[in-house]
Amino acid sequence: MPKTKAELRDRVANDLGILRLNQSLDAQDQTRIEDAYDEVYAELKTEGIAAWPKAGSVPDEFVPYMVALVADNCLATYKTSPEIFQRIKDRSVTALREIRKFRNFQYISATEPEDF
């Protein structure tokens, strides 16, 4: 099932170790991670590999990769253990490569109808 920006944000926070189950994020952490999402999305859009609308849900096949890239973007902000740091770095390298494989993926926009 596609993930919303908020669901993806919480997953990133879990990976960074700043959010535990049944807790909620502080407003500053929400803002920081959502800004990181926007930055990663803009980079993917520039490369022509963002295959979903910015305001839309992230398709399932992209979710783990977006989590990895957004978490990597946040590493300078949040202190993590060396193991978590390395795991996020390793996953982010793989993530960008995997997202590029979907370069020709076409999403169907619900807000921009195609003119036949």
Q: What is the pLDDT of residues 46-88, one digit of tens each?
A: 988 887 888 888 988 899 999 999 999 999 999 999 999 999 9
Q: What is the pTM of this model?
A: 0.83
- The rounded percent of the chain whose pLDDT value lies above 70 is 88
Mean model confidence pLDDT for the chain: 87
CB 5 within 8 A of CB 34: yes
Of 115, 108, 14, 116, whose CA–CA distance to 56 is shortest? 108
What pLDDT shows up at residue 38? 95
At 9 the pLDDT is: 93
